[in-house]
Amino acid sequence: MAAHPSIVSHFSSFSPAMSPLYILLGGLLLFSSLHTSFAATANGDTLAAGEALAAGDKLISRNGKFALGFFQFQQSPGTTSKSPNTTTTTTSSSPGWYLGIWFNKIPVFTTVWIANREKPITDHDLKQAQLKISRDGNLVIIFNNNASTESIIWSTTGVVFNSTNNTTSAVLMNNGNLALIPETLSDEAPLWQSFDDPTDVGLPGAKVGRNKVTGFNHKFISKKSMIDPGLGSYSVEIDTNGVLLLRSRKPPFVVYWSWPSGKLGELVSALSALLEMDPRTKGLLKPTYVDNDKEVYFTYTLLDESSSVFVPVDITGQLKLKVWSQATESWQNIYAQPSDFCTTYAVCGPFTVCNGNSSPFCNCMESFYQKSPQDWQLDDLTEGCARNTPLDCIASNKSTTSSTDVFHPIAHVTLPYGPRRLEDATTQSSCAKACLNDCSCTAYAYNKSICSVWHGELLNVNQDDGNGITSQDVLYIRLAARDLQSFTKNNKRIPKVLIVACIASLGFLMLVLLLIWRSRFKLCGVPLHGIQGSGGGIIAFRYNDLCRATKNFSERLGGGGFGSVFKGVLSDSTTIAVKRLDGARQGEKQFRAEVSSIGLIQHINLVKLIGFCCGGDKRLLVYEHMLNGSLDGHLFQSNAPVLSWSTRYQIAIGVARGLLYLHKSCHECIIHCDIKPENILLDASFVPKIADFGMAAFVGRDYSRVLTTFRGTAGYLAPEWLSGVAVTPKVDVYSFGMVLLEIISGRRNSPEVHSSNGYHVAYFPVQAIDKLHEGDLQSLMDPQLQGDFNLQEAVRVCKVACWCIQDSEFDRPEMVEVVRALEGLQEFEIPPMPRLLAAITQGSDAASF
């Protein structure tokens, strides 16, 4: 057995020349210490009857992966807790000490199970606390009040065991499961196991599900906060109907994500595909769904025992998959469900507004303050916010009230949970009056001639910032008159304040961009006026100078939904392309999207932003000019020079590399959202450059999806766009697949109508997969190539394209796989026919008869 750390450190402080007497006394003290906690770790992974585990001792699984012992959460906002034996300086500490299991070999202290979640042990009681096997065979945490009295802090339940005939022991298994088993080995299930005890973590081998015979429910329950592992607000379980649910743990029981029982097998298939397509989880995990006469459950198996993986129910209710990265020494978030933070019921607490695209996600409503700022710092937002000023409402009798309260609107929000509909209120004024006459009414909304009111706390108010789900609803929250007076007082100065704020904001934005660009491109003194050559870096142009450079925007190169592109020449003879954005709102959005994405990154396959202009209501972007225009002109225009196969192949690889850079190599994952031939530009050497980042969406590395109101171009839209769900980089993969088919065929992927014996629609992507299955690829190739192409490369491109356009995003490869496949470093099998595309063709065939 290992000596207690305090004893080891005490004797290590003596000099080598200490006297033999000190050594003898020290040895006696050490023997005494070992004897008092005898056999706590005598068998390494096992605690037998008659043995006890005290603070400072721990069990370690035979593979060394997991440890069990007493610990205390210690964490300051923005930092990571360390192991129990590591001293850390923190600003927040947990309510006490806990017995739990954690990853033993990982430097970031990560618990996977806690026994006494609701009953922390105080510092004083910790000295007397022990884990042991009780006389009835249960596992218990006890401490001695005095010489004759023991108090039970925590105990296993449901173990009925005859200790006179046999004994039990607790074993920490290699998978992190603490099992209570009889000493007489049996093939039956353990008498008790930590995998069955409510926790917030699912380890490989743990189940979430239900025993149909006993009714026992295997479920996960979130923690309260970063330092309090008590039972939190959210749970994941399978209900009596076999439906997988993520829901609120306490009433009202609100389900915010579910999967039907009849389609749980499809969920496993989708997860398996997702895991196989991610390089971080490929060949690592195997999810399993079981539904038989005895039980129904989900579990997953770890295929690589050297890896560390777990699935927690986060404090905020998201179910996540985390994998340990040895390279970064951190947990990597692979998957999160629900993908939108704000979907979770009451995630920000009462009287808050949640915005999944902002940072922080949660904010108090105006005239409200954080009820517990300390808890907010620890990600425990359940207390939400409280009013700055109490409402002024007195109920004189049952029919009349006296109130000076007023209403303040919050626009573009999803309305709170639990509305009450007032049928008698047929106008907005009558709706407001009805709420004002009820002292318990805290808000109202009037939409489409429907009056809705809310009483008490307001929960689940989510706001749209232009990149989320657009909502036209307005919520009118009830405030004390004094609060609104402060709004009115401030509003009197709005014109001047707004002008000053706009000037200051614009100046600050330009200053920040300039500082970033100076550090990135080593600029030392770029002036904010005049026209410089593109060799000097990013430039802030004046509008008049761009007018002169473009000859008053006379030579139009092209255009789209957001504006037009014009050719220009700088004073140093550098040719530029100037995009002039139209429309105040949409133009501003595209301007910000392009500057914040392509303006701060560089790649050979991304178009280079030379500068910008944002004077008054003018929004212009200045790019390097692409001598050979866009890809669509070379593929679809009859008078354009024919692109050779080798040029097409290099264009395909170049675009794939550009997308891979956007998805994987930037600080945040950038989803382009509008990949099509018009947005692929070609330089003098026909090197492809991805352009037009006006629809680009950003995904934080902790999340796998993002909501956006922008949608790409018909013919290149992935099916998930149509359902309105949060999208992933796989929408770019789908669009890229369509572009590959157009590169092969030299024609649009959209349907073509032939008038021979009626109408018949031949959808090229469906034809491509059919011909690929038949081995007749040559009939798909662009006739202008006149048979001059590399068949092996063409088959490779066609396979990749057809995998990219699969209906389900989980069936599509990631861009890292696409690049490897196009470069000949990875082989793709022949893909199946996407059902949605097949249905399009079948529907059109039926219509022709």
**Contacts for 299-302 with beta carbons within 8 Å, 24 or more apart?**
299/204, 299/205, 299/206, 299/207, 299/208, 299/209, 300/202, 300/204, 301/204, 301/205, 302/175, 302/204, 302/205
pLDDT tens digits, 50-84:
899 999 899 999 999 999 999 987 543 333 343 45
- Hey, is 85 helix, strand or coil? coil
Residue 517 falls inside a structural domain: no
Q: What is the pLDDT of residues 687-712, one digit of tens each?
A: 999 988 767 776 655 555 565 555 66
| pLDDT attached to residue 497 | 41
Q: Are residues 433 and 487 in the same domain?
A: yes
Torsional class of 522: left (φ above 0), alpha (ψ -120 to 50), beta (otherwise)? left
- Residue scoring higher pLDDT (467 or 93): 93
State the chain's mean pLDDT as an integer: 77
User: Please, what's the b/e burial string for 732-767 (b: 16 or more CB within 10 A of its CB; e: otherwise)?
Assistant: bbbbbbbbbbbbbbbebbeeeeeeeeeebbebbbbe
Question: Does the structure show a pLDDT above 90 at 650?
Answer: yes
- Averaged over 757-764, what is the pLDDT? 48
Tell me which of 284, 305, 339 is where a domain ends.
339
Please give the pLDDT value at position 836.
Answer: 67
Within a domain: 125: yes
Other CB atoms within a 10 A radius of the CB of residue 686 amount to 19
Give residue 464's pLDDT. Answer: 61
Q: 3-state DSSP call for residue 410? A: strand
Mean pLDDT on 646-662: 93
Among 634-643, 730-739, 832-841, name the most confident range. 730-739
**Closest listed residue to residue 221, CA positions, set 243, 196, 199:** 199
699 inside domain: yes
For residues 770-792, average pLDDT? 89
Q: What is the pLDDT of residue 502?
A: 46
Interval 401-432: pLDDT, tens: 567 889 999 988 889 988 999 998 999 999 99
Buried b (16+ CB within 10 A) or exposed e, 409-428: ebebbbbbbebeebeebeeb
pLDDT tens for 796-832 read 999 999 999 998 888 999 999 999 999 888 888 888 8
Q: Phi and psi at residue 545, in whole multiples of 5°?
A: -70, -35
176/260 same-domain check: no
Structural domain that includes position 370:
352-491
Is 500 part of any domain? no
* 506 domain-assigned: no
- Residue 188 reports pLDDT greater than 90: no
For the whole model, what pTM was predicted?
0.53
Tell me what percent of the residues of the chain surpass a pLDDT of 70.
Answer: 72
pLDDT of residue 117: 92
The enclosing domain of 815 has a CATH number of 1.10.510.10
Does the structure show a pLDDT above 70 at 285?
Answer: yes
- What gap in Å lies between CA 117 and CA 719, rounded to an integer? 44
Whether 508 shows a pLDDT value over 50: the answer reads no
Residue 362 pLDDT > 60: yes
Percentage of residues in the chain having pLDDT higher than 90:
33
What is the structure's pLDDT at 26? 40
Residue 579 assigned to a binding site: yes
Instruction: Please tell me the least confidently modeled range out of 178-187, 343-352, 454-463, 652-661.
Output: 178-187
Same domain? For 31 and 53 the reply is no
Q: How far is CA 273 from CA 300, 455, 741, in A?
A: 14, 46, 24
Asked whether the predicted pLDDT for residue 183 surpasses 90, the reply is no
Between 533 and 430, residue with greater pLDDT: 430
Model confidence at 535: pLDDT above 50? no
Domain boundary among 285, 316, 339: 339
Number of structural domains (the chain) is 6
Q: Is the pLDDT of residue 636 over 50?
A: yes
Q: Tell me what pLDDT residue 401 has.
A: 59
Beta strands in 526-664 (DSSP E): 539-540, 556-560, 563-569, 575-581, 609-613, 620-624
Q: 575 with 462, same domain?
A: no
**Shared domain check, 590 and 643:** no
Residue 88 lies in a domain: yes
What is residue 673's three-state secondary structure?
Answer: coil
Q: Would you say residue 508 lies in a domain?
A: no
Q: Catalytic positions, please?
A: 674
Q: Which of 313, 196, 311, 194 is nearest to 247 (CA)?
A: 313
Same domain for 387 and 442? yes
Q: Is the peptide bond before 252 cis (omega within 30 degrees of 0)?
A: yes
